[in-house]
A = this chain, B = another copy of it.
Amino acid sequence: MMFVITSEPILIEEVTNKVVRPEAGAVVNFIGTVREFTKGKRTLSLQYEAYPAMAEKQLEKIGAEIKEKWPEAVTAITHRTGKLAISDIAVVIAVSTPHRKDAYLANEYAIERIKQIVPIWKKEHWEDGEEWIGDQLEKTVYPTGKPEEMNSL
């Protein structure tokens, strides 16, 4: 299970171990944690909701895209759902490659793509209210009905 949506806390070591292998000399992890302040506004907690079956498929798609761009890369991604406190881990992306440059690039590609195509939503809880992000603050319009392909990094 390289691409997982879970409501349990994520263990960095566990996600990393899925991609460690004799051919790889480098693993790059991205760990997304809940940040307390965004544009000066204090977040109390976050809630993540997913469409789990489709989200796992989309994560797999990202893994396949990485394989095409960086054939020697192996990717594992786990994203958490439910209520998260400040500094809790929301997502861990682990990419292993024989040489490190590719691991950084492929990892960064993965997080960009997650933010574009994976059906997961974040609700911010502030002292004075709450809001689904991607709703009003960062409104996006998709003229084609689908997210755009990302330009290559």
Interface residues of A (CB under 8 A from B): 11-13, 16, 20-37, 86-87, 96, 98, 100, 103-104, 107-108, 111
C-alpha spacing A98/B40, complex, angstroms: 12
When all copies of this chain in the complex are counted, the total is: 2
Partner of A27, one of B20, B31, B98: B31
In the bound complex, do residue B23 and residue A16 qualify as a contact, i.e. CB atoms below 8 Å apart? Answer: no
Pull 10 A–B residue pairs with CB atoms less than 8 Å apart, ordered by A. Answer: A11-B13, A12-B16, A12-B29, A22-B86, A25-B32, A25-B34, A26-B30, A27-B33, A28-B29, A104-B107
Partner of A28, one of B13, B22, B30: B30
Provide the residues of chain B in CB contact with A111, threshold 8 Å: 100
Partner of A23, one of B22, B24, B36, B103: B36
C-alpha spacing A56/B47, complex, angstroms: 40
In the bound complex, do residue B20 and residue A87 qualify as a contact, i.e. CB atoms below 8 Å apart? Answer: yes
CB distance from A18 to the nearest CB of B (A): 13
Provide the residues of chain B in CB contact with A31, threshold 8 Å: 16, 20, 26-29
